[in-house]
Structure formats: C-alpha cells, structure tokens
Structure 1
Amino acid sequence: MVNTIRSRPNPSLSRTPLPSLSQGGASIPQGSLSPSQPDVTTPQPPSSGTDSNTHKSVRGLTRGIALRKLNKKNNNKLTIHIDPVQRRPTDSVESAKLSSELGQLSRESLPVPIKWKNVKKTELMRAFDQLDMNLAIDNPTDENMKNVEDILKNRSRAQRHRLNKYFQKFPSVEEAIQNKPSYGGLTQENWEMLCTTLFSDPKYQSHEQEFDGDEVDRISFHKHTHYTEGKGWITPQLENNHVEMENRKIDAETRGEIVDVDKIADDVLGKRSSYIVGLGYGPKPNKSNSGIRILQETLKEKDRECAALREERDTLMEEMNDMKSTLAEHSRLFEKLVQSQNLSSP
C-alpha cells in the first residue's frame, strides 16, 4: 500500500496535478486533496486571460493539512469512533477532523444538490472512499455511516447557502451564470442548475432572508474573532470548540428542539462571573433565534392574560363580599320584622 501522506506534495510548492495512488491494486483519485487538480466530477472551465501560475490561492489548499500531519506523526490514519447515542464523535479532536474532512468533500468532491436526495449513490460512495483515505471509522455500521452522511448533508447545506450569498451579488441570473465562483469543485452545469432552479426562486430567497439581519449569535461571533481566511484558527482547541458548538446546534435542530445558542456556548466554552469565554466582558448578546423570540412573546402574552384574570378575580371577590354584606343586612331586617309581628299579634 502506498502511503498517502508521504505522496502528498507540500501545498506551498507547484500546483501540478497529483498522480493517482494505488491502494490494493485499485486506482484512487486524489481530487479531494487538491481543489486545483482536474477531476471528472469537478471540471473547471478555463478562465480567460488568467494564467495558472498567477491564480490566486484559495482556502481549500490549506484544508486537511493538519490531519495529514497528524497521520504522518502517528504513522497511521486517525481512527474515528461514532458514539451511537450522540450520533457523532464525542472526542473533540475526532469530531473536529471528521467535520473538517466532510466539509472539504462537500465543497470540492460532491455536486451541490437542490435537495440531498438528489445526490447519487455513486457520488456518495466516492466521497466516502476519499474520506477513508485519511480517516478510519472504527465501527462502520449502517447506522453510524448514516450519521456520517447526516453530517455531510449539513456541510453541503452550508455550501449551498454560501453559493446563494455569492449569487445575490449579481443583478441578474444571466450575469451570475457567467461568473461561476472559482472556489470549490463546482461545475458550470451544477452552477447553472442552482442559479436557474433554486437561487432565482422567490420562495427560496424569502426563506433565506428570514435569517438575515439578526444579531450575530455567540457561535458565529466565536469564529469571527478566532478565525481568518488566510491563517485559519488561532489554536486547534478553538477550532475544536467551534465544531463542538456547531454539532450540538445541528443535533438540537435535527431533533426539532429549540436551539439555545447561549446555553450551547456556555456548556462548551464555560462561563465565569462577568466574563463570557469567547466573547469577552459585558452582557450576553440578545438571542437571535426566532423560536426563542416567539416563545418569549408568547410568555409575555400569557403573563398579561394572567394579570387580567387576577384583576377580574379580585373584582368578583369584592362584589361577592358586597353581596354577602347586603344579604346579611336583609336577613337582620327580616328577623326584626318577624319579631315585631310576633309582638303585635294577640
């Protein structure tokens, strides 16, 4: 077996295509390791007037380097254990590396579908084969592989959202089609399909705009303050913390629960008096989750209804006490009348 770690060139050197590696007599494409390498699944049309030697480096070239260094240090692939209850790795390093690799596959090796069910089985199996080149699932049961697929599906959805943001920069669908984004392994055919079928749909844009304009949540703020496109994460632990928060958020959404971003951040990052880890000193930001806002408004409405009912109850109690006093007075007068009649009778 050829060592995939040693055969991978330094990303800072020439960006010539990698040769196929032979593993067990089968030729394995290396498309997932270099986004600039041509592949049958991710062809890139030639850009007019741009020389390959002057092509701007993109973030994809640096993705996966830390994992490959770790594999080289251990002289073996990183083993991933999927917890059957949590449906993901519980180890922070394993969780971060699995999420990073699946994100890279969703951007560079898989087409971006309108719906996940449109992904072909052959494409999915090819992605899993590429994942197996750098990671080893120690318990690859059908259920655990379905959990891995769910994580990949969420990463693909994030890539689709990113492409939609890029689409919105253009005044027309035609102009957007002519300016396919250069990052990732998106084909022209895939890009045109997204533009004409999904991104230009008013219903889809209306749904996307529901999440725009809200205050940034603590998970997003954590990445904004600890990650840059050029240098990546400041420390591996910060990346692990961010992946753990994202996984907990996705798990809550998958189960249909209300996502409390502040609680997730407190549980993962920890909290101290007057200080929020990952955010700094000061008050916590307002919750931007629409579900939480709806529940808060509903709770306030119920409180107003309870206050109105208490006021109505107090009014009824006062009226009842007045009626009791009137009834007692009538009873006293009636008894006095009866006594006077008895005295006047012979």
Structure 2
Amino acid sequence: MGHGLQEYASRNGGRKMRIDFIAGKVRPTDPVQAAKLSSECGIHIRSRMHVSTHWNDYDKSPLKHVIPHAIKDIALNLEMDKDDKVGNDVCTKVIQKGVRQQRYRLKKKYFNGYTSQEALSKKPANITHENWTSLVNKWFDERKKEICQMNKENREAMKHHQKTGSISYVAYFNKLKKDKYNNQEPSPIEFFKDTHTNSKTGSMSEPALLAHNVMEKKRKTQSEGEQPLSDTAIVDEVLKEESAHSTFLSSMGYASRSGGLGALLHQPRSKF
C-alpha cells in the first residue's frame, strides 16, 4: 500500500479509499481517486509484476493470470469490487499504460548505451532473469529498433502537448467542470485552451494557440441559415487537419457516449 493510502486509512478509522468507476471513462473522474489508483497500479508493476515485451502476451499462457492477479492485489488496498467488469476494464487500461512506462524506464536506465552482454549483466531488482533476458533480446531486435525510432519521430512531430501534468484528461475535465464551470460541461474549444495553457506562464505553445484561434474563428464565422457546427465538430475538424489520429475528444469521453462521436457533432453548443 502506498504511503498516501496509509495516511488516508489512519485519518478515516482504517477505511480504505473508495474508487468510483463509470462506464465509458478510462479513469475515475475524481482526480484524487485517479491518482491513487494509478499509484497503486504502479507500485504493483514495479515491485512484483512480469513486464511483458508486448501487451498481447498477457492474453496467452503462461502470462494469462498476470493481469487478473494484479487487479486482485491492487483491490486489496482500495474499496473497489475486484469482479466488477467496468472496474476491471479501467484497471486494465491503467496497468497497460503503467507497463509501457515501466518498459521505458527499464530501457532508459539499464539498456540504452550498453552492449547486449553489458545489459544482460545489469539486471534490475524485482525482475526475473528470464523476464530481463526477453526484454533485452526484444530491444536488440532490428525491427524493434526501427519501430522505436519511428515512434520517437512521431512524438517529436506532435504539435499539441497537453499541460495537465500527471492528471488524466478525464480527471482534469471533471475538476474544471466543478471548479470553473459551475458543474456544467466545458465546451471542447474551451477545454482545449484550458489543457494546453501553461499554468505558470499563462501562455500556449504557438501550434496550440494557432489551432485554438482557428477553432474560435470557425465558431464565429459560420454562415447564417446553415445548420451550425457544434464546438465538438469544430474541434474534431481542426485537429484532424493536423492528425487523423487525435485522441483529444475521445479522452474527454465523447467517443464513448451513446451514439458515438458522430451523433454529437451537430448538437447545439453549450452556453455559459
């Protein structure tokens, strides 16, 4: 159990922190719950979980038990139903991201800059020899090197880096909804601005500012007599001009709602 949860339990008569899961959301909407769930998943991954070379390996023997076991272990420290499907789906997504981050950390600290033999001799703690050997062999694979380089170039080409820190879009969305928008859902255009503005400087990066200005211009200059595009449709249109794989709207939860994203594109805009 993480230190924060121990303090929570001591302050609340031994009661564990409740985690509320909502169908269609990739994280708990409460920022504290989301942070503690991610923290507990991270502790389990770093201390006792087999780190596979590929996520799909967990669907096959001998690793098929790893994810269910991880969820049961994590559930021991939280007030949550380990058998609830929605909760299991959310935990699985959090673990998937955590495993990817753990692979990155291991590769950066114990593999990069070393020969194969040197890397094999630097096995980290809390990981078996067999597990470490499989990771090192995977990272030295030529095809894997090409994919890593391509992913690096894609990350460098990303124009709009979110400024929410470690808080997920879902948790940040609900925090803003409560603290800034009087429990009304923020417009996707305003949310784009909120999540791409540096909290210290109050400024946006040039690409993000340009995209936001285009969104605002599209909203203000729609032709009279035509069915107005919703803010959702405007954001979708602008971001897809730059990347066909933008996950901004789906991260807000729009793509998972009844009727999908397409049904929301022409809904009237929210008024504040």
Bin of the TM-score, shorter chain as denominator length: 0.5 to 0.7
What whole-Å deviation, never above 9, does each CA across 1:263-318 have from its counterpart, x for those lacking one? 999738937xxx9343514441546xxxx9994399xxxxxxxxxxxxxxxxxxxx
SS class of match (2:18): strand
Residues 1:130 and 1:189: Cα distance change in structure 2 (over 3 Å): same
Cross-structure match for 1:96: 35
Cross-structure match for 2:149: 209
In the alignment of these two chains, the number of paired residues is: 194
Identify which of 195, 199, 205 aligns with 1:284. Answer: 205
Cross-structure match for 1:317: none
- Give unpaired runs (5+ residues) of structure 1: 1-32, 34-63, 224-241, 249-262, 299-346
What whole-Å deviation, never above 9, does each CA across 1:196-244 have from its counterpart, x for those lacking one? 1x1111222222223436278644x664xxxxxxxxxxxxxxxxxx232
CA distance in 2: counterparts of 1:264 and 1:210, whole angstroms: 30
Are 1:193 and 2:114 an aligned pair?
no
CA offset at residue 167 of structure 1? 4.7
Cross-structure match for 2:222: none
Give the residue type in structure 1 aligned to 2:17. Answer: L
Residues 1:173 and 1:99: Cα distance change in structure 2 (over 3 Å): same
CA distance in 2: counterparts of 1:98 and 1:201, whole angstroms: 34
Report which of the two structures shows the higher radius of gyration computed on alpha carbons: 1
CA distance in 2: counterparts of 1:195 and 1:247, whole angstroms: 35
What whole-Å deviation, never above 9, does each CA across 1:43-71 have from its counterpart, x for those lacking one? xxxxxxxxxxxxxxxxxxxxx21122112
TM-score, length basis structure 1: 0.47
Equivalent residue runs for 1:317-336 within 5 Å: none
The structure carrying a bigger strand percent of its residues is 1
Cross-structure match for 2:194: 270
CA contact (8 A) 2:75 2:82 kept: no
Identify which of 114, 118, 125 aligns with 2:68. Answer: 125
CA contact (8 A) 1:71 1:78 kept: yes
Identify which of 296, 304, 312 aligns with 2:242. Answer: 296
Identify which of 33, 54, 59 aligns with 1:115. Answer: 54
SS class of match (2:167): helix
Two-structure CA RMSD over aligned residues (Å): 3.6
Runs of 4+ in 1 over 4 A off after TM superposition: 263-266
TM-score, length basis structure 2: 0.59
Equivalent residue runs for 1:204-243 within 5 Å: 204-212=144-152, 214=156, 218-219=161-162, 223=165, 242-243=166-167
Identify which of 156, 159, 174 aligns with 2:99. Answer: 156
Give the residue type in structure 2 aligned to 1:69. Answer: E
SS class of match (2:79): strand
Residues 1:138 and 1:132: Cα distance change in structure 2 (over 3 Å): closer
Residues 1:176 and 1:186: Cα distance change in structure 2 (over 3 Å): same
Identify which of 93, 111, 116 aligns with 1:173. Answer: 116
Equivalent residue runs for 1:302-317 within 5 Å: none
Cross-structure match for 1:71: 9
CA contact (8 A) 1:244 1:268 kept: no
Give the residue type in structure 1 aligned to 2:131. Answer: N
CA distance in 2: counterparts of 1:243 and 1:142, whole angstroms: 24
Larger relative contact order (CA 8 Å, sep ≥ 6): 2
CA offset at residue 97 of structure 1? 0.8
- Give unpaired runs (5+ residues) of structure 2: 173-186, 209-237, 245-272
Identify which of 149, 156, 169 aligns with 1:245. Answer: 169
What whole-Å deviation, never above 9, does each CA across 1:165-207 have from its counterpart, x for those lacking one? 235433311111111234xx222221111101x1111222222
SS class of match (2:68): helix
What whole-Å deviation, never above 9, does each CA across 1:62-108 have from its counterpart, x for those lacking one? xx211221122112011111101214311111111111111221222
CA distance in 2: counterparts of 1:203 and 1:193, whole angstroms: 15
SS class of match (1:171): coil
Cross-structure match for 1:25: none
CA offset at residue 113 of structure 1? 0.4
